[in-house]
């Protein structure tokens, strides 16, 4: 047992203290959270159940209101159809409006509850009922027109009501609260009894309206079922509703209704339909009041329980959140205290290590207040750090001076030495070796610098000598300096020889460059004159080409003008033809006028003869006939004059047409000649452009030659300067080599 208590799993050694603390807090908090979540979930389920109950009762209330209206509409429909449209003619449309209003309220309530409260099967069932209700308008139309049997109409209303009422027990199947379940079952039986009474009202109205007892068996069955469902209601419901119902049925109106039922069952059908309907409606309204009271009471009680369960649920949630926050805060404070302590200790040790490694210039002691184990550990660490710091300060000072000395050595200063003593013998031995090394290197570099000073003064005769054996890179450095001296001596000798050869060649080069420079200048002058002449020829050809292009433009414009003239001549011809046509038409019209004048003259002669025959009675008519004859004569003369003018105009139009045709032919010949001239101009233009391009190429070639000649002249001049400078350099090299001291 003791071994088990002291056993520590190995995996915990690989986890940080922070992670261990987090595990220490998370595991119990997780268990606590799971247990509290289970409790909250149970309360949440109860809250959801009562939310569902609340929604079901709202829907049941809407169902009750809708069924009540459809029951009234069904009763009126039965009486209306039984009387062949005589009874309830005005009341039935108003009742339909009331039913439609309740249908809309039912749809709104269902849509607000469907996705939150009702299960899928019930949603499908109610959706099916709403689809069936959509057919109500067609049924109403058939009822109004009396084109549907009474039984079919009543069956439609009865099926809708039955489906609506059956949704109530289906909705409470999953309820666990037995008290509410019993009350809702009682409410369902009450609805069924009320529905049977509604069917009785409808069938009774039909029996009394038609005086037909074919539906008596159905009526008797409904009476029995009403009593059965009401007995079930009285067994299941609370005493106050049972008492309320029993008090309501004692009244005179109810007794008269029961009497009418017995008379109908006895086949005594002398009761008026309106009276029967009124008494049945009175009882149904009374049951509706009890119905509303029951549904409102159940809804009120469900709302109270829902509010209580909601309060408990929210209390659990808030308590769990507060408990979680308090536990988390306490764990966070403890975790923060431990983490801060370990962080300070870790930071103190890390800071001291960084100070030792010279990443920082100073360090701070671990500052923890309290009496726990972390504070004791911090004090012990501070004491050891102080002792280590005192012992390393001297070594650090010595090391710092060593670094400064070595840095100066890297910069080439070999005069510095390490003066501070070290605290440890190992470091002091290192300091002595460094100082000795600096002494040896200073002597060696002094000997090398003295020798190199002689070399810088062009004295290559001395060599580097040392008092001790030199190996490694220093020996390679000394050998390299000696090899450099030998190479310089050899190079000096070679330079002297090359200087003499260069001096001889530079003199020859200078003479040749003088000749080249003179010839280049002459060639440049000749090319410059040639370039000027070719440039003038190019300008002349370019100007001729431009003139030819201008002639081509003028020719194109002339063609356009000729084409326009030809079109105008053609249009003139067409216009002359139209004028000739119009003149011909005018001539024909004048001929008709002339014939009319001739006929008028003849008619006027006949009129004059008739007037003369009439004697005194025809004198006035004779005068009119004479005036008509004069007008006909003047019209004939005017027509002849116009005909002469028109014929003259026709001859002129034909003459103009012929002239326009000749003008059009002349324009066509002119255009052909212009096209031939244009072809010649284009040929000349192409030839001129070709000559211009060739002369431009020649000009560009000459300019290029001129540029190259000028460049050659410049190069010759530069080459002459280089040759003179080379000659001076060769003489200077020769003099410089003669000044150097070599073996």
What percent of the chain lies above the pLDDT cut of 70? Answer: 76
Using an 8 Å Cβ cutoff, are 324 and 29 in contact? yes
Local confidence band at 596 (pLDDT 50, 70, 90 cut-offs) = confident
Q: What is the mean pLDDT of the chain?
A: 75
The interaxial angle of helices 136-144 and 17-82, nearest 10 deg, is 10
Instruction: Please name the CATH architecture into which domain 474-739 falls.
Output: Orthogonal Bundle (1.10)
pLDDT in tens, 161-210: 888 877 766 655 556 667 777 877 887 888 888 888 888 888 888 888 88
Lowest-confidence region among 196-210, 333-347, 482-496: 333-347
Q: How many CA atoms lie within 13 A of 312 on its CB side?
A: 16
- pTM listed for this prediction: 0.39
What three-state secondary structure class fits 142?
helix
pLDDT in tens, 552-565: 776 677 677 767 77
Q: Which residue has the higher pLDDT, 62 or 396?
A: 62
Local confidence band at 619 (pLDDT 50, 70, 90 cut-offs) = low
What pLDDT, on the 0 to 100 scale, is given for residue 2? 45
First to last CA, the chain: 100
State yes or no: pLDDT of 403 exceeds 70: yes
State yes or no: pLDDT of 701 exceeds 50: yes
| CA 159 to mean position of chain CA atoms | 54
- Work out the average pLDDT over 481-486: 76
Structure tokens at 654: 């034909």
Which residues have a Cβ under 8 Å from the Cβ of 277 and sit 6 or more positions away? 75, 76, 79, 201, 205
Local confidence band at 217 (pLDDT 50, 70, 90 cut-offs) = confident
Using an 8 Å Cβ cutoff, are 164 and 98 in contact? no
Burial of 34 (0-12, 13-18, 19+ CB in 10 A): exposed
pLDDT in tens, 432-479: 777 777 777 777 777 777 777 777 777 777 777 766 677 777 777 777
Q: Where in the chain is the domain with CATH 1.10.287.950?
A: 474-739
Q: How many CA atoms lie within 13 A of 175 on its CB side?
A: 26
| Local structure of residue 421 (DSSP, 8 states) | P
- Rounded Cα distance between 337 and 332, Å, is 8
């Amino acid at each position: 047992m003791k071994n088990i208590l002291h056993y520590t799993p190995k995996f915990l050694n690989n986890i940080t203290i922070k992670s261990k603390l987090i595990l220490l807090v998370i595991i119990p908090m997780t268990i606590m959270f799971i247990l509290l979540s289970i409790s909250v979930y149970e309360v949440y389920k109860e809250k959801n159940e009562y939310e569902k109950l609340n929604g079901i009762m709202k829907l049941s209330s809407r169902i009750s209101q809708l069924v009540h209206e459809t029951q009234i509409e069904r009763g009126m429909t039965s009486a209306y159809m039984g009387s062949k449209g005589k009874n309830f003619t005005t009341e039935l449309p108003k009742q339909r409006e009331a039913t439609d209003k309740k249908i809309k309220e039912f749809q709104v309530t269902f849509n607000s509850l469907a996705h939150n409260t009702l299960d899928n099967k019930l949603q499908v069932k109610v959706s099916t009922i709403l689809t069936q209700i959509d057919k109500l308008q067609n049924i109403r139309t058939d009822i109004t027109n009396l084109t549907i049997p009474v039984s079919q109409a009543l069956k439609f209303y009865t099926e809708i009501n039955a489906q609506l009422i059956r949704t109530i027990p289906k909705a409470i199947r999953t309820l666990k609260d037995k008290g509410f379940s019993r009350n809702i079952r009682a409410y369902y039986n009450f609805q069924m009894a009320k529905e049977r009474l509604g069917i009785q009202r409808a069938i009774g109205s039909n029996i009394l309206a038609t005086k037909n007892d074919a539906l008596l068996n159905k009526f008797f069955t409904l009476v029995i079922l009403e009593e059965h469902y009401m007995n079930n209601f009285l067994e299941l419901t609370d005493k106050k509703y049972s008492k309320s119902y029993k008090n309501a049925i004692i009244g005179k109106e109810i007794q008269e209704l029961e009497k009418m039922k017995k008379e109908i069952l006895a086949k005594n059908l002398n009761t008026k339909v309106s009276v029967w309907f009124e008494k049945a409606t009175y009882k149904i309204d009374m049951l509706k009041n009890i119905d509303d009271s029951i549904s409102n009471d159940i809804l009120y009680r469900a709302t109270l329980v829902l509010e209580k369960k909601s309060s408990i649920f929210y209390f659990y949630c808030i308590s769990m959140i507060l408990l979680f926050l308090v536990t988390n805060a306490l764990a966070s404070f403890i975790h923060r205290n431990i983490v801060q302590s370990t962080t300070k200790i870790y930071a103190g040790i890390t800071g001291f290590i960084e100070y030792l490694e010279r990443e920082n210039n100073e360090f701070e002691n671990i500052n923890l207040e309290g009496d726990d184990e972390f504070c004791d550990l911090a004090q012990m660490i501070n004491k050891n750090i102080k002792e280590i710091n005192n012992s390393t300060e001297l070594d650090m000072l010595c090391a710092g001076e060593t670094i400064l000395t070595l840095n100066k050595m890297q910069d080439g200063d070999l005069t510095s030495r390490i003066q501070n003593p070290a605290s440890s013998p190992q470091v002091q031995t290192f300091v002595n070796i460094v100082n000795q090394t600096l002494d040896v290197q200073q002597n060696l570099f002094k000997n090398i610098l003295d020798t190199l000073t002689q070399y810088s003064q062009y004295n290559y005769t001395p060599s580097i000598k040392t008092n001790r054996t030199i190996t490694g890179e220093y020996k390679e450095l000394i050998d390299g300096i000696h090899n450099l001296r030998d190479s310089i001596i050899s190079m000096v000798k070679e330079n002297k020889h090359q200087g003499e050869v260069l001096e001889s060649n530079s003199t020859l080069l200078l003479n040749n460059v003088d000749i080249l420079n003179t010839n280049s200048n002459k060639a440049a002058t000749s090319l410059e004159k040639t370039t000027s002449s070719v440039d003038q020829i190019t300008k002349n050809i370019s100007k001729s080409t431009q003139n030819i292009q201008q002639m081509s433009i003028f020719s194109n414009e002339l063609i356009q003008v000729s084409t326009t003239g030809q079109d105008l001549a053609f249009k003139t011809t067409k216009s002359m033809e139209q004028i000739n046509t119009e003149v011909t038409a005018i001539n024909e019209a004048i001929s008709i006028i002339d014939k009319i004048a001739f006929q008028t003259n003849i008619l006027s002669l006949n009129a004059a003869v008739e007037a003369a025959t009439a004697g005194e009675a025809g004198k006035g008519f004779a005068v009119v006939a004479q005036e008509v004859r004069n007008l006909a004569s003047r019209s004939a003369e005017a027509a002849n004059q116009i005909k002469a003018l028109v014929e003259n105009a026709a001859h002129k139009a034909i003459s103009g047409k012929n002239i326009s045709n000749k003008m059009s032919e002349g324009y066509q010949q002119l255009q052909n000649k212009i096209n031939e001239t244009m072809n010649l101009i284009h040929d000349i233009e192409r030839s001129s452009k070709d000559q211009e391009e060739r002369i431009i190429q020649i000009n560009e070639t000459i300019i290029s030659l001129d540029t190259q000649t000028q460049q050659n002249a410049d190069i010759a001049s530069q080459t002459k300067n280089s040759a003179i400078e080379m000659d001076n350099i060769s003489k200077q090299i020769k003099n410089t080599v003669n000044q150097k001291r070599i073996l």
